């Protein structure tokens, strides 16, 4: 499935037409600081097409993806929602799946992360997953609060994924 919707959002594949908004989101330290083992901002708009191509490639399996979140009322892309396999420290994975969200700061505080992640969890469970993880960089209180609003269970701190320390949360199929 290349897209899914909520009351206010459509999760769809990122397109090259979204490059300006992707750059405006991922070139900001207040967004990038929470992402990945070694946070890094996009430094040039010229990086964006390759990034979007990677996101689209990671969305080739219809069960998983890195999707643009587009407001249904305005068409503005508020950020991303992800449902992707988690890599272990050595880069491999054993089938564990991560849900996540990255929003532009102008879209924080509107409930979009909870709404989109809830829909991504529902999609994953409908596709047969029994457990979905979230990994939150320590200190990212907003994302930890989203996990709690989603009913995810705190699993403690771990270095199991991405080779960095994260707070782990778990959702299980209802």
Per-residue pLDDT tens over the stretch 149-169: 999 999 999 998 888 899 999
DSSP E strands in the chain: the ranges are 3-5, 9-13, 65-71, 77-85, 97-103, 131-136, 153-158, 166-172
Instruction: Give me the percent of the chain exceeding a pLDDT of 90.
Output: 83
Model pLDDT for residues 1-42, shown as the tens digit of each residue: 578 999 999 999 999 999 999 999 999 999 999 998 888 999
**What are the angstrom distances between the C-alpha of 111 and each of 59, 69, 84, 100, 118?**
24, 13, 22, 14, 11
Average pLDDT of the residues in 138-152: 97
Structural domains in the chain, sorted by start: 3-172 (3.40.630.30)
Indicate the Cα dihedral angle 3, 68, 49, 95, nearest 10°.
-70
> Sorting pLDDT into bands at 50, 70 and 90, what band is 87?
confident
Average pLDDT of the residues in 131-135: 97
Q: Would the pTM count as exceeding 0.75?
A: yes
Task: Calculate the average pLDDT of the chain.
Answer: 93
What does residue 32 show for φ and ψ, rounded to 5 degrees?
A: -65, -25
Whole-number pLDDT of residue 92: 56
- 92 or 30, which is more confident: 30
Residue 91, pLDDT above cutoff 60: no
Whole-number pLDDT of residue 36: 83
Average pLDDT of the residues in 111-117: 98
Q: Kindly provide the b/e burial profile for residues 112-127, where b requires at least 16 CB atoms within 10 angstroms of the residue's own CB.
A: bbbbbbbbbbebbbee
């Amino acid at each position: 499935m290349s897209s899914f919707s909520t009351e206010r959002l459509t999760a769809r594949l990122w397109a090259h037409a979204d490059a300006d908004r992707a750059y405006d989101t991922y070139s900001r330290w207040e967004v990038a600081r929470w992402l990945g083992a070694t946070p890094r901002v996009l430094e040039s708009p010229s990086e964006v097409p390759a990034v979007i191509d990677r996101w689209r490639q990671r969305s080739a399996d219809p069960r998983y993806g890195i999707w643009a979140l587009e407001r249904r009322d305005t068409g503005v892309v508020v950020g991303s929602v992800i449902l992707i396999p988690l890599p272990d420290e050595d880069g491999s994975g054993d089938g564990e799946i991560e849900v996540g969200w990255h929003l532009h700061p102008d879209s924080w505080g509107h409930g979009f992360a909870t709404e989109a992640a809830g829909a991504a969890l529902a999609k994953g469970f409908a596709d047969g997953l029994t457990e979905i993880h979230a990994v939150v960089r320590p200190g990212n209180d907003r994302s930890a609060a989203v996990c709690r609003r989603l009913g995810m269970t705190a699993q403690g701190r771990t270095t199991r994924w991405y080779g960095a320390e994260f707070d782990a949360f778990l959702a299980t199929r209802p």
